[in-house]
Amino acid sequence: MPTTPGGTPLRAATISLPRPPTHDSRQAPFIRSHPDSPSRTRGIRNGTPQRERKPAECSHRNGAAMVTAGVPRTRARPEELWPAGVDDGFAAWFTDRAAATSCQVTRVPLDRLRGWSFDPATGDLKHDSGRFFVIEGLHIRSTYGAVDEWYQPVINQPEIGILGMLVKMVDGVPHCLIQAKAEPGNSRMLQLSPTVQATRSNYTRVHRGARTRYLEYFVNPGTGRVLVDVLQSEQGSWFLRKRNRNMVVLVGDDVPASDQHRWVALHELRRLLRVDGLVNMDARTVLSCLPPTFFPGSRGEPLDEDVAGALIRSVRGWGPVRHDDRSVLSWFTRSKCRHELTAERVPLRGLPGWRYRPQEIVREDGRHFSVVGVDVRMDNREVTRWNQPLLYPHGRGVVAFLVKRIDDVAHLLVQARFQAGLIDAMEMGPTVQCVPQSQPGPLPPFVDQVLTAPPQRVLFDALLAEEGGRFYHTENRYMVVEAGDDVPSEEPEGFRWVTVHQLSMLLRHGYYLNVEARSLLACIHALW
């Protein structure tokens, strides 16, 4: 096995090895992890071996677990806490940030959320300012998938936020200004986020709190060079037509990091993607949109001579593609036309198939997700105490790309994926994107090939969180798996083998790749 510059085998040094089935909640991704369930009430410790955990920091109450700030949770020896080659300075900074971050999240009944109320006419759950977001009902009819009609709550957040990363060059090496940020829904409280992560209500200060740091570099880039500026969707199963502005701005050498921020080399950030629950969704989607020319060459840590070479050719756009760009676009258009999907907004009150309890709005069969409320106390934020509802997905999803060498170029298998809340109903998703335990009917294609792949074909495997500002304790298992010989180069109609470069080119435009695919595409850059 090739080794890292430090001489340690790469796989052994990461904490994202394929997981054998055990009863540990981290290693059993398909066990529902509810805060009231036994696995949670035991109190999961993130493990901060370097220092004592302060009990006052980052707790979840109301029968839920106490959870420490986001230092990677593991029972491994301290030297295995971070992937090989991670800068000691970074590790120390993050541990300090965890110590300095105080936050407390308590579940509260939905009808007692301060600043929020149910609309008398519709039952929609709204903020008193009329801003931020609304939880309302959605009625979906579709010829796609196993269920042709259903109702669900959905987050309607029409305003466009900014997910912005500042980058600078230091001796020819790109660095990113990341932030250690806590969000109320995070199960590992502290995560790495982009430089700026703010809804329009935040940055226009509807909450009357402090101003958002570094915002001016994105609103008025001035001397900075805009490398990425594109609207991208977010979870189409939970949001109604939500999109955020993904930005990367290249600045000079004169932008200092605040207490909560740190300049990190891009190659180090790519490596940190392998750490469970560390790099947040917003950072992942922004990274995925970086032009491939911006990534420096191989870090000298090829996975395996053939795979690494094939991956680099895929990223760089070298070598043949299975389908040229025009064919890929034509397939995408054709796929959009194959099915019809209508999503109609309806009142949240009386949604067929859903139960309304003080603590939650939940499906009668307990599937998919519920709506819960939290009271949040947090320092280092524009506002230090607030209430809000969150969506609480039940069960852990699998988000996976199958990758295959075709003519010596790595190709990823993307899927034409309908989701009710997407702007145009369909985007390209990863090969597998599902919550196996919530799946109505048989498992979707390729789930088996992903979950039963032998360890040597699992190139990436980490539990990564979805946006903690809207989702409660939501981690999915992100995987990149080399396809076996049982997966041919000929695809079913709903799938296409494409290169990383082809996807990167599409990411100059909005609404081609869904957030799950973008998240996972960022992780591809952890592999070369």
Residue 342 neighbours by CB distance under 10 Å? 11
Tell the burial category of 337 from Cβ atoms under 10 Å away from its Cβ (0-12, 13-18, 19+): exposed
Of 317, 219, 233, the residue nearest 281 (C-alpha)? 233
6 near its own copies (CB under 8 A): no
Site for its own copies in 491-520 (CB under 8 A): 508-511
**CA separation (Å) from 413 to 59, 304, 472, 525?**
40, 20, 30, 16
d(CA 31, CA 385): 32
**CB under 8 A: which stretch of 92-100, 306-314, 325-333, 490-498 binds its own copies?**
325-333
CB closer to its own copies out of 160 and 443: 160
CB closer to its own copies out of 77 and 326: 326
**CB under 8 A: which stretch of 157-165, 250-258, 268-276, 390-398 binds its own copies?**
157-165
Q: Which of 326, 441, 442, 485 binds its own copies (CB under 8 A)?
A: 326
Q: What does the block give as tokens for 386?
A: 């607030």
Beta bridge partners, 268, equal none
Q: Which of 80, 87, 159, 382 binds its own copies (CB under 8 A)?
A: 159
CB closer to its own copies out of 145 and 302: 145
d(CA 67, CA 73): 10
Of 184, 188, 193, the residue nearest 69 (C-alpha)? 188
d(CA 369, CA 106): 19
Q: What is the DSSP string of 279-293?
A: B-HHHHHHHHTS-GG
CB closer to its own copies out of 146 and 337: 337
CB closer to its own copies out of 208 and 326: 326
d(CA 371, CA 350): 14
**CB under 8 A: which stretch of 29-37, 101-109, 337-345, 516-524 binds its own copies?**
337-345
The HSE-up count of residue 203 (CA atoms within 13 Å, CB side) is 19
3-state SS assignment for residue 452: coil
**Residue 426 C-beta: closest distance to its own copies, Å:** 10
**Interaction mask 194-213, its own copies, x per CB under 8 A:** ------x-------------
337 near its own copies (CB under 8 A): yes
**CA separation (Å) from 385 to 35, 125, 207, 299, 378?**
22, 19, 11, 43, 6
Site for its own copies in 344-373 (CB under 8 A): 344-345
Q: Which of 28, 100, 265, 329 binds its own copies (CB under 8 A)?
A: 329
Locus of tokens 């969150």: 390
Q: Which of 258, 333, 456, 489 binds its own copies (CB under 8 A)?
A: 333
160 near its own copies (CB under 8 A): yes
**Interaction mask 410-429, its own copies, x per CB under 8 A:** -------------xx-----
Q: Which of 126, 175, 245, 262 binds its own copies (CB under 8 A)?
A: 245
Positions that interact with its own copies (CB under 8 A): 158-160, 200, 226-227, 229-231, 243, 245, 326-327, 329-330, 333-334, 336-337, 340, 342, 344-345, 423-424, 508-511
